[in-house]
Amino acid sequence: MKNDDIRSTIIKATMELIEGSDGDINNITARKITDKCGVALGLINYHFGSKENLIAECCRQIISEMLNGLGPDKIDYQADDGLSDRERLILYARQTFDYLYSNPSIVKISILSDLKNYKDGGNSALTQKGFQMALRGDIPKKQKKYIAFSLASIMQAAFLAGENSGLLTGYDLKSKKQRDRFISDTVTMLMNGIHEG
């Protein structure tokens, strides 16, 4: 097998294990990964440096695919879509939040990995950049960054709170209707006083 094929095989096997892990990467051992994909144990370190790097890479790829599809189905994200910045940001954030709750194991690993080692190309940073893309009006760049950072952080904290999120937020985030309301209220609060151009 070629190096790229081996790398892809390892990633695919690891993604399958992640999806069945319920967010607990401690149960995903290097031995389980290599047994699943039929490669030598040393190839994980050779290609990724460590099991943790491999798992973070898998989660980054999965979530990056979702982030690339964020927003309305348009080739040109700057094209007029008839939405206000608030409406567009709510749309993007709802899609993101739905993804979080549809893929809890992968997302939990990704968020916790980003919190340990925040990088500009990490999923948290990419999410924030996606949210900034929703803000096209006459809002200063610094405020766009603040709104995007705040929204992503609030969503991540609410998601990581799990069963306690209702106690902390007042919303039952397992309910799609309540999640949508939470996003609308949060975006409105963050954008209060921001005037679109």
- Dihedral (Cα; 32, 36, 39, 44), 10-degree rounding: -50
Question: What's residue 196's pLDDT?
Answer: 47
Q: Could you tell me which CATH class the domain 3-56 is placed in?
A: mainly alpha
Q: How many CA atoms lie within 13 A of 67 on its CB side?
A: 21
The tens place of each residue's pLDDT in the chain, 197 residues long, gives: 677 789 999 999 998 888 777 667 778 899 999 999 999 999 999 999 988 888 878 877 777 766 666 554 444 556 678 889 999 999 999 998 998 888 787 788 788 888 887 878 778 888 899 899 999 988 999 999 999 999 999 999 999 998 899 999 999 999 999 999 999 999 999 998 554 44
Please tell me if the domain spanning 3-56 has the same topology as the one spanning 58-191: no
Residue 94 and residue 22: Cα distance in Å, rounded?
22
Label residue 98 exposed, middle or buried (CB < 10 Å: 0-12, 13-18, 19+): middle
Note the CATH architecture for domain 58-191: Orthogonal Bundle (1.10)
Domain residue ranges in the chain: 3-56, 58-191
Q: Which residues contact 184 (CB under 8 A, 6 or more apart)?
A: 90
